[in-house]
Amino acid sequence: MATSRIPSSTLSLKQFLQRQNILGIYRNILRTIRQVPDEKDRKYLQDWARDEFKRNRNATDEDAICMMIRQANNHLEELQRSLALATN
């Protein structure tokens, strides 16, 4: 009987793509936060983003993950809008 060479912890294609999407959102949030002019606000937002992503990194429920992705995208868009208004 042949055994699989793929480790049991290997991600499926869907999980891999979802992970890449989440990491992209995280990077975009951190890039956007770098544009915040006030150092205290920037530090607070960086800590908040890191804590949120760390807190949810072990989530496995697909519906909950999709909801968190939508929520993260909404936060990113809101932050970008706020920065755009502040610079105009």
Instruction: Show Cβ contacts of residue 11 under 8 Å, excluding neighbours closer than 6 positions.
Output: 19
Instruction: Give the per-residue pLDDT at 8.
Output: 63
pLDDT value at 7 more than 60:
yes
pLDDT value for 3: 61
Res. 4 pLDDT band, cuts 50 70 90 = low
Give 28's contacts (C-beta < 8 A, 6+ positions apart): 76
Q: What is the pLDDT of residues 8-56, one digit of tens each?
A: 678 889 889 999 999 999 999 999 999 999 999 999 999 999 999 999 9
Q: What is the pLDDT of residues 55-71, one digit of tens each?
A: 999 888 889 999 999 99
